[in-house]
């Protein structure tokens, strides 16, 4: 009985460790990408995006909030994309 509990705990620890390590690697990969790169990888795959000049900074913020949920992007990703779109304005 004790042996199976210890084995179960070791397996659980291994799973948690693997998930934690993998999520850190993904976060670092996102942190290394620019807004332009993220825009190219995410926005363009579904539709042609408008020119940055087509919208005001406030409108880009609203579009970003909407697309964060639609495209399942992190806050960091959408923040970089919005800053890219605003800077190109």
Q: Report which of 82, 87, 3 is spatially closest to residue 43, judged by C-alpha positions.
A: 82
- Structure confidence at residue 54 as a pLDDT band (50, 70, 90): confident
Predicted pLDDT of residue 21: 61
Taking the alpha carbons at both ends of the chain, their separation in whole angstroms is: 65
Predicted pLDDT of residue 28: 64
CB environment 19-45: b (16+ within 10 A), e (fewer): eeeeeeeeeeeeeebebeebbeebbee
Percent of the chain with pLDDT over 70: 76
Please determine, for residue 73, whether its predicted confidence score (pLDDT) is greater than 60: yes
Rounded mean pLDDT of the chain?
Answer: 81
- Name 88's Cβ contacts closer than 8 Å, sequence gap at least 6: 52
pTM of this prediction? 0.64
């Amino acid at each position: 009985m004790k042996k199976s509990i210890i084995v179960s705990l070791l397996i659980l620890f291994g799973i948690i460790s693997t998930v934690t390590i993998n999520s850190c690697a993904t976060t670092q990969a996102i942190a290394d990408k620019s807004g332009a790169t993220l825009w190219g990888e995410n926005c363009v795959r579904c539709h042609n995006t408008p020119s940055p000049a087509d919208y005001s900074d406030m409108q880009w913020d609203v579009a970003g909030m909407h697309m964060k949920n639609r495209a399942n992007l992190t806050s960091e990703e959408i923040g970089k994309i919005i800053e890219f779109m605003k800077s190109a304005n």
